[in-house]
Amino acid sequence: MTFKGDAMRTKRVGLFFLFLAVWVPAQSQDMPANHVTVTVLTTNTADGGRTQGEWSFSAWVEVGERRFLFDTGWSPDNVLLNAEKLGIDLSVAEDLVLSHHHQDHTGGLETLRRELTRRNPSALSRIHVAPGIFAPRPLADGSDRNPMVALRARIEATGARFIVHDRPAEIAPGVWVTGFVPRVHEERNYQVGPDRLLAREDGSTVPDIVPDSQSMVIVTPEGPIMISGCGHAGMINTLEHINARISDLPPQAAIGGFHLFAATPEVMSWTSERIAELGLRHFIGAHCTGIESVYEIRALAGLDRDTARVGAIGTRYESGRGIIPGNINR
């Protein structure tokens, strides 16, 4: 199925990122990750008494003895405070994966880097991003709506480094980032218009398709676990990309934001059908997924209350156990 849209826009922007279409072969399955736990640190839904919700996303990822932070929320200290309430020491994570440049996923970066290095100078010292995350997004008044343009130099001045991945890359044993995700299906879930432009090096501008939208993937013997910030590349595009380039096993879990809150019935039906065909077994929809959309996927993709949940702060996914709900969604 192909959704209606501006085909010329897609082709024009696609040519701009054509160089990204050189891919590495799919990973062999002889180096799967150890026990995996993913804990939601911030999203729209909280328990009200202990943690603070906001329109953003971040997750804490434990893979064997290694620890990773995925995204940093919107408010400067929201992730920091929620992690403290949940008893999580963020300072042990030396790797940070950013899903894309939007403020609701990068807003806590500067505060987290400053505060966590008080305990561990190497905390969040390696920041994994996809191409386009630093590209200017110019506005008519001459300002820039991409917070990463100004933030980059300040973060690098602290000694951290950004690692740009234009293709799937293994950042630790069994731990991958997707890099740029090809837009095979037109799952356009981002805003378009004259104030949504991306500046090119030649001085021209093109529509901003959020090319830096990437996901984190943990390869396990039971299938890959995908963690998504907003899924601007498209949930199905990303799952199929993972299947083709990282792990050909049916996906064990998809966790995070998937920007389906405003999706039409047609989109929801198509997405759910593809999820079922791909064999997705667990789904935690948080942030921009939308509460109603989670329930629709649950019904249409053949999942149930144990295997498809609305993600709240404190919700966990554990390999071998499945979804462990937070206090708010028991």
Q: Which of 7-11, 108-112, 137-141 has the lowest mean pLDDT?
A: 7-11
Strand partners, 163: 128
Strand partners, 127: 96, 162
CB neighbour class for 304 (10 Å; exposed up to 12, middle 13-18, buried from 19): exposed
Residue 20 lies in a domain: no
Length of the chain counted residue by residue? 330
- Contact at 8 Å (CB) between 127 and 162? yes
Mean pLDDT taken over the chain: 90
CA 112 to each of CA 184, 286, 287: distance values in angstroms, whole numbers, following the listed order: 35, 22, 20
Residue 291 lies in a domain: yes
Question: pLDDT tens-digit profile of 162-181?
Answer: 999 999 999 999 999 999 99
pLDDT at 16 over 50: no
**Can you tell me the distance from the alpha carbon of 226 to that of 282, in angstroms, rounded to the nearest whole number?**
10
Residue 93 lies in a domain: yes
Looking only at the bridges linking them, the beta strands covering 36-42 and 58-63 are antiparallel
Share of the chain above pLDDT 70, in %: 89
Q: How many domains does the chain have?
A: 1
One DSSP character per residue, 173-196 reads: TTEEE--S----S----S--STT-
pLDDT at 6 over 60: no
pLDDT band at 29 (very low <50, low <70, confident <90, very high): very low
Share of the chain above pLDDT 90, in %: 81
CA 205 to each of CA 35, 143, 196, 197, 199: distance values in angstroms, whole numbers, following the listed order: 45, 15, 10, 6, 4
pLDDT at 81 (0 to 100)? 96
pLDDT at 49 (0 to 100)? 65
Residue 17 lies in a domain: no
Residue 133 lies in a domain: yes
Residue 75 lies in a domain: yes
| Helix axis angle, 265-278 to 291-300, nearest 10° | 50
Please state whether the predicted TM-score (pTM) of the whole model is above 0.85: yes
Question: pLDDT tens-digit profile of 33-89?
Answer: 789 999 999 999 987 668 999 999 999 999 999 999 999 999 999 999 999 999 999
pLDDT at 32 (0 to 100)? 72
pLDDT at 21 over 50: no
- Count of CB atoms situated within 10 Å of the CB of 37: 17
One DSSP character per residue, 228-283 reads: ESS-TT-HHHHHHHHHHHT--SPPSEEEEE---TT--HHHHHHHHHHHHHHT--EE
Residue 297 lies in a domain: yes
- Contact at 8 Å (CB) between 260 and 268? yes
Listed residue (312, 295, 289, 145) closest to 228, CA to CA: 289
Residue 1 lies in a domain: no
Mean pLDDT over 118-133 rounds to: 98
Q: Which two tokens stand for residue 31?
A: 């180096």
Question: pLDDT tens-digit profile of 281-313?
Answer: 999 999 999 999 999 999 999 999 999 999 999
Q: Which two tokens stand for residue 153?
A: 């130099």
pLDDT at 129 (0 to 100)? 98
Query: Is residue 168 classed as helix, strand or coil in its secondary structure?
Result: coil
DSSP state of 80: H
**Can you tell me the distance from the alpha carbon of 118 to that of 130, in angstroms, rounded to the nearest whole number?**
28
pLDDT at 135 (0 to 100)? 96
Domain containing 169: what range?
31-323
Looking up residue 216, the CATH number of its domain turns out to be 3.60.15.10
pLDDT at 192 over 90: no
Question: pLDDT tens-digit profile of 129-167?
Answer: 999 999 999 998 989 999 999 999 999 999 999 999 999
